[in-house]
Structures are given as C-alpha cells and as structure tokens.
A and B are shown apart, each in its own frame.
Chain A
C-alpha cells in the first residue's frame, strides 16, 4: 500500500536495490513493474526502454538533471530518503517539477515518515511509500498539517503575498 494523490491505494511496483555484489551493468532486472536505480537505467537503457512500464529512482546524492531527456520514458520516478534527516531529496523533487517540468508520479521512498510528508508534498511528491512499520492511515494525516504556506514551491508557484490580500497597518 502507498499513498497516492491523498488516497491509500494498492501498489504493484517493486523497488530494485543493488546489493554490494551487484553492478548496474550486470544485475538482472526482474520482469513486471520495477523501479530501477538511476545507475541501472543509465547502464541498461537500451534493453530497459523496450519495457511497457518502467520506473526509476534517484539516490539522494544523484541529480534530477541526469533524467532531463528521459522523463517521458517512466511511469514513476522515485526519490530515496536514506534517512529522513537527509534533505537532498526535497531539492531533487523541486528540480524535477519546477525546472524539468516532470508531471508524472513522483514517489518518496526509503525513510518516509508522516511528519515530513507535508513538506514532501509541497516540493512535488504526489506519492509516498511510508516505512512499512508505520500505520499508513496515520501517515495520511501528515499531508494536512497546514492549510497555508508563506513561500512558493512546486505545489504553489507564488508566495503568499501574491496570492492573497495580506493585512496592513490599521
């Protein structure tokens, strides 16, 4: 189960992760709906792009820019949070949405917790795979912590001062 577009839905994608002994060139990508690491995509793109459905995921030290010319090839792009305190994934998502114009599913994977999901949603994630040991119904609540934000991001191109009539000196 994942959260997608504010709803809990079944999910039939699997995330491929490399073990220490695997190399991006030689690892066998299973059939079906697989989200492959960026490195595997780059190493095996000729074979992988024949697939009907494919996903790719970025590690927190990888760059959205590397997918610039391939965005339409994926049904889902995921960003991995190795630890919830690693905030690079937020800028990766921002780049994908705001700079590269990616409009497909953008999924947060890894150490994804309720209390970070509001910010994740703002920078452009629309799908969340919360940690399996957490209650996904509780996690869903994290998306509505705030109803209002000061600054612009992927979800909201304008800052508050351009969106509403702010109060002034009486």
Chain B
C-alpha cells in the first residue's frame, strides 16, 4: 500500500499543528463556535448528541495491520472501546472529547493516517472498489489514481469552501462495487481501443434529499488528464453551484439545471486552459505511486484445495461461509475473504478494540498485513491462500466475524441514527437489531438469497436507503419517529432508485413489514431470481397491496428498554454542548 514520504509526513504534521492551535484558540474562547465549526468539520470532528465524533479517513478503504492497531488504541484510550465503519470506508469514534482531538490526530499521523476533509463542504475521502487489485473482473487497479487524486484534493486551496460536500468514488472493474453512479463524481477506469488507460467520468449523482443517478460527462478522459479534468469540474461547481439553499447546493442540482451538455461545455472550456499544463500527471509519478500497489509475493498454488472442498461437504456452517463470505481472486489458489461486522445483536459496522486488534493479527497471519473496509461496512482480507481458509474461518468465528451473511438480509447497511447523530429522525441501530433478530435464521436468509437492506435515520442518506433493494428512511412526524419503506433500489452497474411503497410505519411495525415484502417475493419469484429482479419484473403494486392489505401489528417486545435510545448525557463536563441539549 502507499507509504508516506517525507513530504507527506511534513504536510500531515503541519495539519496536526494547525488544528492543535485552532482547538487551543477554541478552548480559550478566542475562536467562536461558528468560526471553529467549519475548521473542526474539515478535520472530521462533528458535535453529536453525546460527544464529539471523529471520522477518520481510510483512503480508498485500504488499511494496514499497524493502522488497525492504532484504531484499537484510540478506541481504548480516548473512546469507549469500539469504533464504527461507515459506508464511505471510513472509521468513526463516537465518544471523544474536543481537547483530545489533536493528540488523536498526532497518533494517527504516526501511522500515516489523518481525518482531513472527512466532513465539511470540500472534497471528501475518495472511495474505491474494495476488491481493487484482486478482483477477477478488474481492468486496471484504480488505487494509484485514487492516491494521486487524494494528494491533489488534500488542502486544495480553491476548493475548501465549496457550496456543499463533494464525494468521489472510483472503480477499475467491469462490475461497479463502488457505487460510482451515486457520487458527485464517479470514475471508472477503462481502456480504449488502443489499450490506453483513461476514465469514464460520471457527474452529478448522489443520494440525500434529491437522489439522482450520475450522468456521463465524458466517456474517456486519458489518465494523464485526471487532475486537470476533475479540477475543471470542481471549479465550475465552485463558481456556479447554488449557495442560497443548502438543500439545493450539491453539484447534481447544478448539472440538472444546466443540463449535462451545457455543464460539459463549461467544464471543457475551463479545461482548455489547463489541459496539457503542469498538472498533467507524468508517467514517472504514476509509476512511483503504482509501485506501492504492486502485487504481493504470491505463491504458486493449485487452483483448488482438497481439504476446503471436503469440509464444505461435511460442514454446513463452513459451506455457508464459503458461499457468502469468500470471493474469487485473480490469482489461482487465493481467495478474498469478507469478515462480517453484521453479527446479530451488534450495531452494523461496529468493531471493538479487541476485534480491531484481532483483525490486524488475522491480516498479518493470512493476508500480507493489509485489510480493506467495504462500503457495506465489513472488512476484507484480500489475499488469503485457499489452504488457510479453514484456519481463518475458525479464527474469525471465535471473534464473531464469520457470520455467513454477506450480501444477505442481515448484512444491513446502517447509519448511526438517532442514538448518536444529531441529524437523525429515527433510530437505525436498534431497528437493524430488531430486523436481524427477527430474521436471524441463516437457512431462511440463504433461501431468500441476495438482498440489500439499507437504512438511513434521515434524508441525508448515510445508509444509502435509496439504493437498497429494501430501503428504510427515518422520518419525523410531529416529533415522533416513523419509517418510510421503499423497494427497487440498487447500486452497481444497474443502479436504480427505490420507490416508496406507501405511508410510513412505526419502529415496532417494521420487522413485520419486511416479512410481508419477503412473503410476496417468495410467492412470486421465478427460479433463482433475486428479490430485486422480482421487484423489477412485477413492479411495486403486488408488494404494496400485500403489505397494506391488513393492519400491521406492532411487535410488542420492541417497545422494551433494550431497544430504547442509548443512555443519554455527555460523558464529560465541558461547555461545548451538543445541539440537542
């Protein structure tokens, strides 16, 4: 993976010093909260219900064992012993004190990490295909380009105060696993007829209040021009994006208002000034960065492993895990393994300090010391010898990270929701827990097959509910929490936005609503058709009709304290209160 040189170290250290001084000035009162707010956000620091939340950037989701151990250290020393992996491949800590933030950033810098631009109206951490470098369908490894763009976007002086946040995602494979169509800019690395590498560029996709699938602005931008072309897109957005209404400030609204052709014309008029200029990426720089992502020392191994095949026949639990959590690898004899952070009863995407340390050890033992964080909020060991799969399965099982549910009903994407987030209308984590408990039976889940259930506690859509096969959105009605259900959304190559099935439900009705949706699917499915394919084939109506045909009973046990809001109150006494209090 990429390693910092002296320049990266210096820039990161100067950022830590800058933020340390800003925190000092905030604590002394020299800096007012309204001035400090944007500065802390650009360092990933939010003020949530209970405490400060720090979102740490994991560039393109790639993390080393040493970095994971640093997460574990931070969880123990400064937080409550756990962290939360997000849909943008980052890690969040939820219980921090403002005065500790500079030390945490210094700790992170010591392992070549940071929290730069993980919030605020700037270019955010660039996300990437979690199987980059190992996927069988990969055309070009996107990570060197993602790193080059990370450096370009880091502290870009012109783009720190954009109309709104700006998210870039990237894939180098034929199948899009990076949700590029729902990002402000989505890049897919492609080769043209001459075999040259370039980018197909989508612009103006996004979720949130106004979900839109991105439009193609250019079908082939040669890789050398990635910086200048993206810079022109962001410049036109900075100049012309709306600033009068924050709900209409994302680039998607500008692209929609101008039309993609006019937007493209403006971008390319700007690009004419910089194309072939000094910001053109040189082959030497690409080579320098790409060298960090060269393949590890793979062994020559047989394509299949006899012991694994035998255990798959004998042991159903192992067979289930092989089916769901083990993915094909481009090198014979290797596999990519997904460690599930979706065990029933655990908040989706959460990992304890012990799990983080243990995952670091697994990475060192089985996967060249590296892991990836997926936008589905799981971890990936990308380079596992098939002959190690049985040992790895046993180790992961003992850590609670071998639930064979990847891509199944309980592999829920879930935002922090009303338990933590000051924006949420509804609780996401307890609802995910209730759903996971209701459908915990793994045989049932395997029978239902591939399905994506995504939940967001508010329309900001951190849980990507619009592109869930089933999406749940927390809405506020007169101060109480309700949940809107949609079906038919999807991410990937055939991305689509879900449609709301009808009026909202209470927290305690949702598991039954999902059960009814699944009953319609089981009744209507044809052969091994997936839920999403059935929805696309027969439409919304049969689902809607059945769900609303009879009153949906509330599940009485979901009213209990176990599902109520987490303990309230700040864990410390400072005057920097959360907006909720």
Contacts and interface: CB of A to CB of B under 8 A. Distances in A.
Interface of A: 84-88, 90-91, 94, 98-99, 113, 115-116, 118-120, 122-123, 138, 145-153, 157-162, 164, 166-169
Kindly name the residue among B30, B158, B291 whose own CB sees the greatest number of chain A CB atoms within 10 A. B158
Given A87-B162, A91-B239, A113-B35, A148 B11 contact: yes
B493 interface: no
A84 B35 contact: yes
Contact of B11 (A99, A118, A119, A150): A150
Given A122-B157, A152-B279, A161-B285, A88 B239 contact: yes
B292 A169 contact: yes
A88 B162 CA distance: 8
Contact of A91 (B4, B6, B235): B235
B278 A85 contact: no
Interface in B20-40: 22, 30-31, 35, 38-39
B282 interface: yes
A88 to B, nearest CB: 6
Contacts of B35: 84, 113, 115
Interface in B49-71: none
Interface in B266-297: 273, 278-279, 281-282, 284-285, 288, 291-292, 294
B161 A150 contact: no
B5 interface: yes
Interface in B151-193: 151-152, 154-163
A67 to B, nearest CB: 15
B146 to A, nearest CB: 14
Interface in B209-233: 227
A159 B39 contact: no
B243 A86 contact: yes
Contacts of A164: 7
Given A146-B14, A152-B278, A161-B285, 10 more contacts: A85-B161, A87-B121, A115-B39, A146-B11, A147-B10, A151-B227, A158-B279, A159-B227, A164-B7, A169-B294
B541 to A, nearest CB: 46
Contact of B273 (A99, A116, A120, A151): A99
Contacts of A120: 157
Contacts of B31: 115
Given A87-B162, A90-B158, A160-B7, A145 B14 contact: yes
B269 to A, nearest CB: 11
A149 B161 contact: no
B278 A151 contact: no
B282 A161 contact: yes
Given A88-B239, A158-B278, A168-B291, A150 B14 contact: no
Contacts of A116: 160-161
Contact of B7 (A90, A113, A166): A166
Contacts of A152: 278-279
B136 interface: no
Given A91-B158, A168-B291, A148 B7 contact: yes
A116 B160 CA distance: 9
Contacts of B161: 84-87, 90, 116
A119 to B, nearest CB: 4
Nearest to B38: A85
B238 interface: yes
Contacts of A150: 11, 151-152, 154-155
Contacts of A88: 238-239, 243
Contact of A168 (B10, B159, B288): B288
Contacts of B163: 87
Nearest to A149: B155
8 contacts: A90-B238, A119-B157, A120-B157, A146-B15, A147-B10, A149-B157, A169-B3, A169-B294
